[in-house]
Amino acid sequence: MTQQGRAASSPGDGAAHTTTTVEHGPFCLARCTCGWRGPARRARSLARADAAGHTHD
């Protein structure tokens, strides 16, 4: 399992959300420090988009 260096945080919501993308076999998924996990994706760009959507919710 490889962890990617891309992270995003949302400073305006009071609680810091830091997301990363993690590769697991042929899939990539987004994870957040709050415990949220995105769906497994084959495209890294989709996992990054999931992470971005989570931090903007």
3/56: higher pLDDT: 56
pLDDT band for position 36 (cuts 50, 70, 90): very high
Beta bridge partners of 32: 19
> What integer is the mean pLDDT of 10-28?
80
19/2: higher pLDDT: 19
Q: Which pLDDT belongs to residue 30?
A: 97
pLDDT band for position 21 (cuts 50, 70, 90): very high
**Residue 41 φ then ψ, to 5°:** -125, 150
Q: With 0.85 as the threshold, say if the pTM is over it.
A: no
State the Cα angle at 52 between 56 and 12, rounded to 5°. Answer: 35
